[in-house]
Amino acid sequence: QIEKIVAECDKILVVEEGMPLVEENLKGYLGNPKITGRLDGTIPRDGELNPKIVREALNLPELPSQAVPEVVAGRPPALCVGCPHADSYKALNEALAEFGRGHVFSDIGCYTLGYLPPYNAIDACVDMGASISMAIGAADAGWFPAVAAIGDSTFGHSGITPLLDAVLCKANVVIIILDNDITAMTGMQDSQVNGRIEQICMGIGVEKEHIRVINPLSRHHEENVKVFKEEIAYNGVSVVIPRRPCIHVYNKKKRK
């Protein structure tokens, strides 16, 4: 049946997301140059498909489009109003200003939005669990301060091992574990490390006096800035835990 279809067509375009599995199998089975797709560059080898890419692959004319008026403002995602991470980033930014800004590496979570204005608090974010390892690498390269921002849930999922690495290599890093008492980004699930973060950090070797818990509220701003400055100045592994429930959790409990 496949050979019959190919024989009846002048050209076969294989349009598939991800790896060109079907295209590779067809080429391997038929060895026919009429089969095109990602492998021959008709469709880009990587990246997601979209209507424009498929239209160009089919040599179809571009559809007329309407220009977006300049008065329409962009609406990028933002931290929720009342989010504890906002107060954490405000304090961190003020503390870092004294040390020449530094380098802040984020993990994956709501707090990644700290990369955007008005906070502009994050320099790099790669994937889940990478923040602490990147901070260690930055410290090894002589960058100072080297700071990692990771959520409580992500810390339990993939942050404990790199924190142990930081302790073992005596890295000069500050690890911020943003504890909002919930896995807010992906469904409001409970976090397995809630109530245990300090004990976990001490258990893998972080010195007790350099595990600091702060309350990210505007009325504690000056105190929080002071804690961040002290731990940035410390030559070793520091853990700062800004602890305040996600605003949605707080509001839900308040309604009850």
Q: What is the pLDDT of residues 147-165, one digit of tens each?
A: 999 999 999 999 999 999 9
Gyration radius of the chain's alpha carbons: 25
37 within some domain: yes
Q: Which domain holds residue 45?
A: 2-57
Q: Which residue has the higher pLDDT, 233 or 78?
A: 233
pLDDT tens digits, residue range 49-97?
999 999 999 999 988 877 877 787 778 888 999 999 999 999 999 999 9
Single-letter residue type at 167: V
How far is residue 178's CA from residue 83's CA, in Å, rounded to a whole number?
11
CB 118 within 8 A of CB 78: no
What counts of helices (H) and strands (E) characterise the chain? 10, 8
Question: Which DSSP letter does residue 67 get?
Answer: P
Q: CA-to-CA distance for 26 and 251, rounded, in angstroms?
A: 56
Closest CA to 169 of 209, 137, 143: 137
Same domain, 153 and 241: yes
Same domain flag for 133 and 247 = yes
Condensed to tens digits (0 to 9), the pLDDT of residues 89-135 reads 999 999 999 998 789 999 999 999 999 999 999 999 998 999 999 99
Is the residue at 176 inside a domain? yes
Instruction: Give the chain's domain count.
Output: 2
Check if the beta carbon of residue 240 is closer than 8 Å to that of residue 250. Answer: no
Which CATH number fits the domain that encloses residue 146? 3.40.50.970
**Contact, 173 vs 134, CB < 8 A?**
no
Q: Are residues 130 and 48 in the same domain?
A: no
Residue 255: C-alpha distances to residues 182, 192, 249 (Å): 18, 25, 10
